[in-house]
Every structure is written in C-alpha cells, then in structure tokens.
Amino acid sequence: MIRDNFSKILREAMSEDSWLISEDQYDAKKNLQFESLFALSNGYMGIRGVQEEGNHPSLPYVYINGIFDKSETFMRELVTLPNWSELKFYVEKQLLSVERCEILEYRRALDLKTATLYKHVLLRDESGRESLIESVRFLSRENVHRMGMKVYFTPLNYDGILEIESSINGSILNFCDAPRFKVKHSVVTENSAKEDNIYLEVETRDDLLHIGTGASLHAYENGEEVLRNRRCSAFGEVALEFADCKVKEGKTVEILKYVSVFTEKDCERAAIRPSVFKELESFRDRGFTEEHRAHKKVYDTMWKRANVRIKGDFELDRAVRFNIFHLMSTASEYDDRVNVGAKLLSGEEYGGHAFWDTELFMLPFFSFVFPEKAKRLECYRYRLLDAARKNARKNGYQGAQYPWESADDGTEQCPDWTIEPDGSCYRCYVAKYEHHVTAAVMYGAYKYAETTGDTDFLYKEAAEIFVETARFWASRVLYNETLKLYEIREVTGPDEWHEPVNNNVYTNYLVKWCLRFVSSLITEMKDSREAEYRSLCEKLHFMEEEAETWKEISDKIYIPKKEGTKIFEQFEGYFDLYEVLIEKYDKNDWPIRPEILKTMSVTETQLIKQADVVMLMHLLGQEFDEETIRENYNYYEKRTLHGSSLSPSIYAIMGLKIGDSSKAYRYLRRAALLDLWNIQGNTREGIHAANTGGVWQTVVFGFAGLSLDENGELHLQPHMPKEWEELQFSIMHRGEATEITIKGDNSYTIRKREANEV
Amino acid sequence: MIRDNFSKILREAMSEDSWLISEDQYDAKKNLQFESLFALSNGYMGIRGVQEEGNHPSLPYVYINGIFDKSETFMRELVTLPNWSELKFYVEKQLLSVERCEILEYRRALDLKTATLYKHVLLRDESGRESLIESVRFLSRENVHRMGMKVYFTPLNYDGILEIESSINGSILNFCDAPRFKVKHSVVTENSAKEDNIYLEVETRDDLLHIGTGASLHAYENGEEVLRNRRCSAFGEVALEFADCKVKEGKTVEILKYVSVFTEKDCERAAIRPSVFKELESFRDRGFTEEHRAHKKVYDTMWKRANVRIKGDFELDRAVRFNIFHLMSTASEYDDRVNVGAKLLSGEEYGGHAFWDTELFMLPFFSFVFPEKAKRLECYRYRLLDAARKNARKNGYQGAQYPWESADDGTEQCPDWTIEPDGSCYRCYVAKYEHHVTAAVMYGAYKYAETTGDTDFLYKEAAEIFVETARFWASRVLYNETLKLYEIREVTGPDEWHEPVNNNVYTNYLVKWCLRFVSSLITEMKDSREAEYRSLCEKLHFMEEEAETWKEISDKIYIPKKEGTKIFEQFEGYFDLYEVLIEKYDKNDWPIRPEILKTMSVTETQLIKQADVVMLMHLLGQEFDEETIRENYNYYEKRTLHGSSLSPSIYAIMGLKIGDSSKAYRYLRRAALLDLWNIQGNTREGIHAANTGGVWQTVVFGFAGLSLDENGELHLQPHMPKEWEELQFSIMHRGEATEITIKGDNSYTIRKREANEV
C-alpha cells in the first residue's frame, strides 16, 4: 500500500492505490523523471514536481500556458517563470533536505484523483535530530490563480527552533542544466517585500509581458499561529520570506504557503499586483483545506467524465489513468489563446509548441470527453487562421498554411536552424517540408464537429479553415503532364527519417480527402446552409470554381502503390530502399535498432520512424477495405522503429482493427508505461503529450472499438485482451454522459448517465 | 611531498613543502575551514578559497577592504561582492565537479611563498570519462586590480567537447548559510555582456558606492586559441561567459580567466567600467604567466622581510609562516582608509571591523617588519580621530573615544543589540562598557613611533591622538572622595565574561600609563619640539593645566591588589568570586571547561576568558618587577580558559619572561595551529587575525626575547625550546633590514642585510 508510509492525516486524505503514482525511494538519478511524472497543472499553470527544499539535478520549471519568448534563441518557447515552490526548513542552520540529511523514510505520491502531490520524508540531520516532513501541494482548479503547499512538520526526538525560508525565485533559466542552451526569458522588474508577504514581478524580454507572483507564509500549532521573527527580503532576483517557530518533540506544526500568480494576459499591468494580493487574501480567508476541498471537487467531476477503469490489470489500469490525468489537467477549458504543448506543461522540450499531435492524438479524447476543452483547441486554430494565411504567403502559397510548430502568435516556430551538441548549427528542414500539419488541422476541425455535433462551428469557423487550407493545398500541388496526375513533391511525411520525398502517401491521401470533403461541404452548404454559405463566400471571396478545382485535384492526386498489391508505397521510391526488418525487442518490448544501422544511414533503408501509411489508415479507415489495411499494417509494422511516441498507439489500434490483438496489448503497455517507466529515457524532458492521447485512443478506439457512424450512432467492436476482466469508460455522446462497460467476453452495456451522476 | 600529486608543470612552479599548506582529500565537512585557510588577499581584495565549480557548503565571499554597508543589519559590515571565481567545466552537460563525479585524485595546496592557490583533481564522471583538472589562482600583488585563474584541463581517456562557463555572480548574500541573518548589501546596477567579456556592476545599498567586476575567458592548446561558440549572457544577477573547445585524449588545454575589479573608491563612477576593461586588456597583453611572475617577485620581497624560519620543528615552522602569510597579505601598504579586520578578509565574522586587536596584536608585527603598512594603520586611526571625538561627545565624554569596533567611518560599529539563535534580540553592552580600546589606540601609536622611530608622526598626528584620548580618560574617571582615588566604574576589561565591573586593573593601569606618558610628552614637546607643540596647542585648544590634571589622575588612579601580595585583583571584587582552577586539557592542549560551569554561571567564578592582568604586563612590562609578573602569571594562568584567540600568545610570551618555557611552547603550538587544525572549531568564519599577530609576537618577543631599550637598541634574550635547532627572522631596525639568527643554545647573531639582499 502506497499510503502506508504516510501519517494518518494524509493517509485518510489520499485516494486508493489505483489512483496513486509513487516514488518509493530517493534516487537523485531519477529526480528529473519524477519531476515530469509529478508535474501538476490546472490548465492555467504547470509546475514540475520539484522538491520544495531544492536538490540536484533539478529543472525547477513553472510555466503559464501561452507565455512565450524568443530572445536570442531560435524560437518562441515557453518561459520558465519564477519558482514559487521553494520552502526550506532549517534547524540550527542545517538544511533539512534529502541531500543534506540521512533519509530514514521517503515517499512521494501523486494522487491522480485529486491532482495533489503528497510527500513523506523522515530525515536525520548531522546532529542526529530526526524530523518528519509531510507535505501537500496543489494548484487549485477551481481558482486557477491559487497555488498552495501545506507541510506537516514534526520533530521526533528534539525540541528546537525551526527556521523557515519561503521564496519566489526569479533567477530561473530555461535549459538551466544545459550550459550551451541556457537562456533567460524574463527580467525581474519588481521585487518587493512587505511585512507578511513577498512579491516578484518579471517581464518577458520580447513582449515585455508582466507576470506577478506573490506568496505568504503561515504556521499553526493546534490552530494557533506560531510564526515569529517574520522578515521579508528582496534579495536581487529572489523574494524571500523568513520566519521561525518553536517546535517540540512529537508535536506537529502545520506550515502553509499560499501563492498567487497573475499575468498581463489576465488583467492590465497595473492590476497584476493588486490582483495577486486580493487573491492571496481570499485564499487565506477561505483557507488551504477549504480551497483544496473545492479543487478536489472539480477533479471529482472531471474524473466522472474521464476515468477509464480496467479491472484485472492493475498496472495498466493505473498507467492509463496516469496518462489521462496529465492530458486532461493541462488543457484549458476557457482560454482559446493556448493549445497543449508536445510536453504539456511538464517540460521544456519543443518549447511548449503545439504540433499535429493536438489534432490527431489529443483532440479525439477532448472531443469525446471534454468537448468544451476541444472547442478551445479549435478556437485556438481558428484564432490563428490569419497567421496561417501569412505563413502561406511567406512560403509562396495561397490560402492558409498552419505552422509545423505553433506557439502563441501562429507564426512558424519550428526553427530553421538547430544547434548540435558540439555547438555547430545545422539547417533543419522540418518546417520547410513537413506540411501535413495543415491537413491535420483541417481534419481535426472536421472530426471535432463530427464527434461533438457542433455544427455551428462546422459551418462557420471550421468552414473558413477548410476553404483556406484547401486553397493552400491547391497551390501546393503540381500537375504532372506526363502522368496526368497531381503531385506533391519535396515533402516530409510523418516518417521524418526520409525527408524530403516526393508524393508521400500519407500527405497526398489526406489532401485528396480534404479537398473532396471541402468541395462536398461547400455543395452541402450552398444547398442547405445558405446564410453561412453566403457569409463564407463574402468573407473569403470564395468562388465556386475553386471547389471544382479542388474536386479535380482530389480525383487526380498521385497515390503510389506496389503494383498488383494493396500495399501503398510510403513515398515514391520507398520500395527501392534497402529492406530491413525488425526482429528483436528489448525488455520493454521496444524494437531494437537493427545492427545494419551501424554501417548504413537509416535514410537508405526501409526502416521508418513511426506510423505513416498506417497512420493514414487510422485517420481515414473508411477509405480502405480491411484487406488493404491488413496488408499495409503487416508490411509497415515490421519496418517501424517507433522512434516517436506517436507511433505505438496507432499500431495498437490498427492491429486490433485487423485482429492482431496480442501485439496491440504490448503496444498499449509500451505506450501507457512510456513515461512511468521512462522507456524512451527522455521523460526528464516532460510527459509525452501525444502519447497520452494515443493511450486513450488505443483503449477506446482500439480495445473498445468505439466509432460513430455517419449518423452519429455509437458503435462498439470490443477486442478485450485476456488480461482484462472489465473495461469501463465514459464519453459525451449527443450531449449526454454515456458510460460504456465491456466485459471480458466482449459483451457490453451502454448507459446514459443521470444528470446527478455527472 | 605535497607536490607529488601535481603534474610536472605545476610541481616545478610550486615551492618546497615548508611553504605549502595542503588539503589532501575532499571532505565536504571541511569545505568552510579550507575556504578560510586558502583565502587569498593582495591587500586590496580578499577571496575565500572557494572551489571554481561551486560546491556545498560554501561561503563564496569576495571582499574589498573598506567596502562596508549596513542596510537592515545592526552594523556596517564588509560587503560580499560578486564572486568572480566561478569557472565550470562540462562534458556532455555533466558538470565536472568534486560533488558530481567520483574523485580519483584530489589535492589543493596554498603556496605561502607565492600567494598562489594550486589545485589538482582527477575526476571520473558518470560516463566513465576521466578528466584531470589542475588550476592556479592568484590575486596580483603588483597590480591589485588583477585577479586570475589558469586551468590545465586534460581528458585522460576520451575525446570530446569541453563546455566552459565562466561567471561573475552577483546573487551573493552576506551570511548566506544562515537563514536568519542572510542579507544583501549590494544591488546589481549593470550586467552587460560583450562579445568576449562579461561585466557586472553593483551598488552598495547605503552609500550607493559602485563596484565593477569584469572578466574574460581564453583557452589555448599548444599556444593556439581554441575557444569556439563564445557567448556572453546577462542572466539577471549573473554575468556568464560560455564557450567550448574540442579536447583530445591526453592533450592539455589551458584555460584562463582574467578578472579585474575597480570601485568608486578607486576612481569616479563613470571611470569604473573603462578602468576594468583597460586593466583586463593590459592583463591579457602582459599574460597570465608574466603577471604571476611579477606577483611572485613582490611576494619574494615581502618574504625576505617577513619570513620566520624554525629549523628542527617542521610543523611549527610552517604553521608560523602560515599565520604571517595571512597577516602580511591582508594589510594594505598604500590605503589608510582601511584597517585589518578581526577575520582579515577571509570571513564575515565581526563584519570586517578593526578592534584593539590591530594595535596590540598585529601592529607590532607591522611596525617591526612592514613599517609602511604600520603607518597606514596609524593613519587610519588618525583619519578617524574626528569620528572618535564625536563618539566621545555622543557618550557624554570629552576628547576622543575610539569605537570598540571600527569600520570605515569611525562610528561605533559594535551593535547595541544582537540576535540569539532563537531570534530574540538581546542587548549587547560591549560598546557601552569596554573602553580600553581607546587606550590601545594611544598605546599603539606610541609603540609604532617607538619601534619605527617615526618621530614626525609621534609629535604631530600621534600627539593629537594622545591629547584627545587623554581628555577622554580625564572625563571618564571619577574621583572617589573616600578613597581619595580616581576610579573607572562600570567598565569591561579584556575578560568579557565579567561585565561591567569597577576598576578593572588592565584598564585603570593603561590609563595611568597613558596619562603619565602624554603629560610627559607634552612637557618634552614644550621643551624641545616647540613648533609642533604650538601647532598642537592651537589645533586642539590645548592648555597646560590639562596635562597637570592628567598627571594627577595618573598618580591617583585606583589599582586593586591583594593585600600583602603582588597579585593584582583583576577588578574590584574578583577575589570574592567562586574559585575554580583549570586542571584538564584536551588533545589540542586546550583547557577543558570545568564541570562546575554546567551548574554555575562563569560570571560567578574566577574563571576568565583571556589574558587581562597578564595582558597588561605584556604591554607595560617595564612597569612591573619580575616577581610581580611571575605571581600574577601563575595566578591567572590557572584561571584562564582562552575563550579568545587573543589569549594564548600573550601567556606564551609572559611565561617565557618568567622562565616557564614548556608551557610557552604548548601555547605557541596552540596559537600557530589554531586555524590549521581548526582548534576552536570556528575557522570556517575566517582566520583569527589577532592570533596571527600573536603568533609572531610569541616567536619574536617570547622565544627570541626581542626588545628595544629606551634608546632603541636591540636586545635579545632567547629562550629556545628544545625542539628548535635554529630560529631565524628579520626586522627593520633603524631603517635597516636586520636578520637575527638564534641557535639552539640561545647564542645568536644579528646581521644587517646588504641593500641587494632586501
């Protein structure tokens, strides 16, 4: 039992083990991994699971979604903000930390059910004093500007004076552990200390956007405030509150740190400071416990919608929940200026940018479970349609081309140059050639509308996206007079190990579908949605001939295929590459790189990074017969190294579709445990966001076989693995919370929930 | 051999073992002690012996003598300045430091002869890479604004890319390891990074005094500059220069960090920055090695004067040299705005303040060895005479009262309040009652003039000090009508464990002597120094009657004594206190606190902190017959716990004077090894400055029995301990370098050195 270590009061507050992710012993080598795993987000802010007292190594990052800065780097990246989690305890100048003391007991646990991080450490310092330190941390989901920590401090074998330091540390850097890449995206503009609180305001360097953080410290014993000698100091970039209190053997002192953050995106600059202090006051007035209770209530509601229960498979059950937790926690339900970054708000890799990952991996989850969050993601793209237009123009195309990497302003944030570990710059061609994101955005808007039934969005905002992206593709294709076909040359598909190529099937086929869909939607609108049609034509200067052109391109786009088979050729010339098949798997069931790659570049082989043709079939299953899917799956599965976390879940789903359930189960495990077990070795950089969505899709679209038919009717075709006794999850279907329960024998029930259940 | 670890190039540069203090293995618990031991100072600046790559614990302090600030603390204290010693090496993001790597070889050595800190570490990082890092650090004594480090970096078993971070860190705090006392005395006003250098300017908070630090990084392999990808960044309070270079197995790269510092005390504010860069340029042009050579030459000259050689007693020989090294390194030969703090420039305890320690413990060394430095110390007191006048006025006295603790402006810097570890403030009465410093300043000025023959100073500046301090004492004493004697009531003597007392013998007798001396000097001046006398009378509105009063007070001041004996009563009522004698000594030959102190306050006992009556006899030996000295020594020696480092050396000297040579040798060892062995456990706070002077006095006044008679003739009365074969040292006598050699049998030679020897 994970909770066993914790003292009674925390044990009672914590959820059951199937909701707890725990770190059972302190191992500095795993610090960064657990910082990612234990990251908390309330949709507004994210903080990695750093230790309050500081340790090494650590990437002590706090992010607010949507706060980006470029400065001297290659791209606008998520700005790490002042770290408000610092809370240090000293007795006679000795820092009570896992690094400086002997650790007698240690456990941290992330409670998925309540989005709360619990900690239990029993430390023995150099003087033999034993201190029990237990803490609770949460970022309120009810009031997103409130963050707090509560520490139960108990001296076990001594009386003494506890010295407490609470700080807001503005001396933060992005890439702080990478000497070559360290960068400071903010400048401290105010560091002020009042009698009983500290406040630090920073300004981003490019946009001069202000972010204010305030905190105040309190401590109680038996309900009495016990802090003495409080002193708030402004130490350069650090705002520090010091206080002490007497502690007695066996008596617990409760120490509270209330935090509040506002930015210039939340209010006027002049209002930041007052907002922070007003919020701090309200937070204190309400009290930590009451706020925590309200926060837990919000999570309770969220989980009623989002929970997936897998009976009979404890480890996977919890792992799936873990992935859902991070995904649902990060997305915002009210802010359409933000998306969900490739590492959520749990790490700095990819700069917090949104990729096609959003539409193809995460959006289905949100559309089915949190349509209001899905809507925000769609609005984000629509809001940046104009930037996509400019992007197309810049690259010599028409319509709207969405950037491969999108931050806050919709400009292309995928750098043209990157730096090698040896400091040399090299040209990065991803943004130049990898254009399928624009199809993904279009496809995502369509799927969102289809899933949620948001026709209002479909015929207005989405229709604009459709027309403009169709225009992009029409300007992107080239007509080949010899073949009498349209081609897309010099392009990169999902498999980035071959770049650029000509006529990537994934891209070409998606474009084919997009153009066909858009022209038929136009026709439909003209017929039955006259007002919206007229508005669209007016706004976008749309002319009917355009739709005819799109239809023609769609009909005549080149889709390379192996002659006499149903196997698509990933791109022109792929079949001529050196054939290598994957034969060995490691202990995590991950493919082992074939030996040949030591002497041959992967680009010369048929080995691919991730689902490409198979991804296409996942997205547009209705376009292909089962035999085609099977043949392509079998062919490409043996050639896919899963160099991206976006790959296994897709293979799992598609495997199930063609009856390969044993592999699917292995793929799901790999995907669900990817970060928990640090399978790719890079969990330190943050949680793999697309993968979290892929895990949900694998369970719901794969094992449950859920789909909506063209009338929006719910269909299930379960493929329950032998390990599972029962699978239960919920979706929003036609505005109603719908609970699906599948038994081990694939029999299932679909139940509309009562209003009071949701 | 200490040098054995070092590679050939360093080994050849280093001095013999009798000049080397070494740290043979890394033990974090000893970090702070070695930071103090390995502190370097060039008279202008001091830096603790911190590790370039940072480690824990550490007090990474850089000081410039004379830069003080109070802010919210109780006193003006030495301001810790931006740390320019940071120089970190990474390979593939792994910090090569003693904390993060396996230590295969480790040694640091302070070369006393050349004031150079050498380091040799062989580290194995997590990836098994072995790196040899050897470094050289010095603060140029020829050009005090130049500080530098040179590192020889050799990868032993790999090729790779070495990433280098050189910084100037302004995020420094005083008392940085004491949560309750942390304070920031400076604010960063400029952090600028150019292409190949970094610059940080700070401002002290009270006086808005600016201090600029600049640095630049270079690296060479076989004479070729090898740095690439140089990037200078201003990261908040940290100025950081990054660069990398390729390193090859077995090939050594030399990395250089040139540093320069100027302050607003050196030049106009606007000139600080240009001065730093001009100096950096000249430093680079001259080269590290050439500057180091010039620096070593200055030290060579200093040691020709200051060295003490004890043959046959290696450990003590080196330990004495160690003490002299720190003392002579810290004092300035040109700046009379600064004194020598109680911890030199090697720690923050006592805020860098000057005490009576200067006049009674350190000044004799300087007067005899570096009279030009002694003169600066005297000028410091003279410059602050006016502040001493104000101080007397403030306390209701006349004349000039020197502050117990003196920083830069001569106001009393001994706080009236101090903070207990539990945060409660308590009233500190030292400044209120401990007045003997004013006698010490007067005595010091007299002794300086006597030793150096600087009559010019004696009859001008010193005479002013004499008159004004005499006036102070005349206003301080009270006439007791019953006794028909003058008293000094409510006073604290050197033994601070009894405070306040009435008629402390030490104070009363010194005052007796002072007033007598001043009145006779006045008479002498009137007779034979007419011009100076007239000037004095005019300047100080001096009237002859004053001198008569002083004479009368001197004759009639109360000196308590045990009836029928020669034993002085330390203060009125001392003999009535509970008698406790010291009987046990610890392994360091330090008295063990008697058990009785567990149940009785030390104030109730006859136990004393330090030499008090015996100190008096040390200063004014000529006033007492040998029997008196012997009786008092024997009486008080058994009652002295040496709670101050100012005590053992005095007992050693006085013991020798009365023939107790065995104890004297033990006392000298205790004093000489006080910091090297961390005998008092507080070497972490800095080197005990007074003790360093006491060590020299013990050797020269004690074991060599050196004295000057009233005609200034040199006398020796050696008491060579059996352990010593030969003792050799030099003094300046009548302007001539004079070498004294004493053999084991107490026979000696006195030799005037030739001009070319000095």
Residue of B96, B188, B228, B238 to mutate, interface with A, max A Cβ within 10 Å: B238
Give the chain A residue whose CA is nearest to the CA of B421: A92
Residue A200 has pLDDT above 80, yes or no: yes
A165 and B179 in contact by Cβ < 8 A? yes
pLDDT of residue B484: 97
Nearest to A173 among B92, B178, B235 (CB): B235
For residue B232, list chain A residues with Cβ-Cβ distance below 8 A. Answer: none
Burial grade of B671 (CB within 10 A; 0-12, 13-18, 19 or more): buried
Tokens of B361: 């413990």
Q: Within its chain, how far is the Cα of B714 from the centroid? A: 27
Give the chain B residue whose CA is nearest to the CA of A181: B242
Model pTM above 0.90: yes
The three-state secondary structure class of A85 is: coil
Note if A412 is an active site residue.
no
Of A163, A166, A164, whose CA–CA distance to A239 is shortest? A166
Residue A230 has pLDDT above 90, yes or no: yes
Q: Which positions ≥6 away from B136 have C-beta within 8 Å? A: B10, B13, B116, B117, B118, B119, B149, B150, B151, B292
With an 8 Å Cβ cutoff, the interface of chain B facing chain A consists of 56, 72, 88, 90, 92-93, 100, 161, 163-165, 170-171, 173, 177-180, 182-184, 187-188, 228-229, 233-238, 240, 242, 244, 246, 421-423
The secondary structure of residue A242, as a DSSP letter, is: E
- In what side-by-side order are the strands of the sheet with B62-64? B40-41, B45-47, B62-64
For residue A234, list chain B residues with Cβ-Cβ distance below 8 A. Answer: 184
Distance CA A236, CA A95 (A): 22
The secondary structure of residue B264, as a DSSP letter, is: T
B422 and A92 in contact by Cβ < 8 A? no
Residue A663's pLDDT band, with cuts at 50, 70 and 90, is confident
Nearest to B161 among A187, A238, A421 (CB): A421
For residue B55, list chain A residues with Cβ-Cβ distance below 8 A. Answer: none
B236 and A233 in contact by Cβ < 8 A? no
Q: What's the gap in Å between the CA of B290 and the closest CA on chain A?
A: 31
CATH topology of domain A307-757: Glycosyltransferase (1.50.10)
With an 8 Å Cβ cutoff, the interface of chain A facing chain B consists of 56, 88, 90, 92-93, 100, 161, 163-165, 170-171, 173, 177-180, 182-184, 187-188, 228-229, 233-238, 240, 242, 244, 246, 421-423
ipTM, two decimals, is 0.93
For residue A244, list chain B residues with Cβ-Cβ distance below 8 A. Answer: 180, 422-423
B238 and A171 in contact by Cβ < 8 A? yes
pLDDT tens-digit profile of B663-694? Answer: 899 899 989 999 999 998 999 999 999 999 99
Nearest to A235 among B180, B184, B244 (CB): B184
The answer to whether the CB of B69 falls within 8 A of the CB of B207 is yes
pLDDT tens-digit profile of B550-607? Answer: 999 999 999 999 989 999 999 999 999 999 999 998 887 789 999 999 999 999 999 9
For residue A237, list chain B residues with Cβ-Cβ distance below 8 A. Answer: 171, 236-237
B236 and A177 in contact by Cβ < 8 A? no
Q: What's the gap in Å between the CA of B599 and the closest CA on chain A?
A: 21
B173 and A235 in contact by Cβ < 8 A? yes
Of A671, A672, A596, A594, whose CA–CA distance to A640 is shortest? A594
pLDDT of residue B320: 98
Burial grade of B116 (CB within 10 A; 0-12, 13-18, 19 or more): buried
Report which residue type is found at B564.
Answer: G
pLDDT of residue B758: 63
Distance CA B506, CA B613 (A): 6
Q: What's the gap in Å between the CA of B422 and the closest CA on chain A?
A: 6
pLDDT tens-digit profile of B695-704? Answer: 999 999 999 9
B163 and A179 in contact by Cβ < 8 A? yes
Q: Which positions ≥6 away from A447 have C-beta within 8 Å? A: A359, A363, A364, A367
Q: How many CA atoms lie within 13 A of B567 on its CB side?
A: 16
CA dihedral (B562, B563, B565, B566) positive or negative: positive
A179 and B242 in contact by Cβ < 8 A? yes
Give the chain A residue whose CA is nearest to the CA of B71: A233
Of A146, A236, A231, whose CA–CA distance to A190 is shortest? A236
Give the chain B residue whose CA is nearest to the CA of A423: B229
The angle, 0 to 180 degrees and rounded to 10, between the axes of the packed helices A463-476 and A371-383 is 50
In this prediction, residues A693-711 reach a mean pLDDT of: 95
pLDDT of residue B660: 83
B622 annotated to bind ligand: no
Mean pLDDT for all residues in chain A: 96
* Residue extents of the structural domains in chain B: 2-302, 307-757
Nearest to A179 among B165, B180, B228 (CB): B165
Give the chain A residue whose CA is nearest to the CA of B180: A242
Q: What's the gap in Å between the CA of A496 and the closest CA on chain B?
A: 25
For residue B193, list chain A residues with Cβ-Cβ distance below 8 A. Answer: none
Of B64, B86, B198, B90, whose CA–CA distance to B135 is shortest? B86
CATH topology of domain A2-296: Beta-galactosidase; Chain A, domain 5 (2.70.98)
Nearest to A170 among B92, B236, B246 (CB): B236
For residue B88, list chain A residues with Cβ-Cβ distance below 8 A. Answer: 179
The answer to whether the CB of B137 falls within 8 A of the CB of B151 is no
Q: How many CA atoms lie within 13 A of B376 on its CB side?
A: 18
Low-confidence ranges of chain B (pLDDT < 50): none
The answer to whether the CB of A211 falls within 8 A of the CB of A260 is no
Residue A758's pLDDT band, with cuts at 50, 70 and 90, is low
Q: What's the gap in Å between the CA of A235 and the closest CA on chain B?
A: 6
B356 annotated to bind ligand: yes
Of B231, B148, B236, B247, whose CA–CA distance to B197 is shortest? B231
B163 and A180 in contact by Cβ < 8 A? yes
The answer to whether the CB of A487 falls within 8 A of the CB of A480 is yes
A233 and B182 in contact by Cβ < 8 A? yes
Residue A421's pLDDT band, with cuts at 50, 70 and 90, is confident
Residue A78 has pLDDT above 70, yes or no: yes
Distance CA B656, CA B658 (A): 5
The answer to whether the CB of A262 falls within 8 A of the CB of A145 is yes
For residue B92, list chain A residues with Cβ-Cβ distance below 8 A. Answer: 421
pLDDT tens-digit profile of A667-696? Answer: 999 899 999 999 989 999 999 999 999 999
Distance CA B618, CA B635 (A): 15
Q: Within its chain, how far is the Cα of B15 from the centroid? A: 24
Report which residue type is found at A395.
Answer: N
The three-state secondary structure class of B300 is: helix
pLDDT of residue A444: 98
Residue of B235, B240, B417, B418 to mutate, interface with A, max A Cβ within 10 Å: B235
- Helix (H) or strand (E) run with residue A266 in it: none
Q: Which of A190, A349, A490, A496 is catalytic?
A: A496
Judge if B2-302 and B307-757 fold alike in CATH terms.
no
Residue of B32, B233, B348 to mutate, interface with A, max A Cβ within 10 Å: B233
How far is the CA of B637 from the CAs of B16, B480, B611, B696, in angstroms? Answer: 38, 32, 8, 21
CA gyration radius for chain B? 27
CATH topology of domain B2-302: Beta-galactosidase; Chain A, domain 5 (2.70.98)
Q: Which of B315, B496, B532, B726 is catalytic?
A: B496
Q: How many CA atoms lie within 13 A of A171 on its CB side?
A: 16
B177 and A228 in contact by Cβ < 8 A? no
For residue A163, list chain B residues with Cβ-Cβ distance below 8 A. Answer: 179-180
Of A309, A323, A451, whose CA–CA distance to A739 is shortest? A309
CA gyration radius for chain A? 27
Give the chain A residue whose CA is nearest to the CA of B247: A422
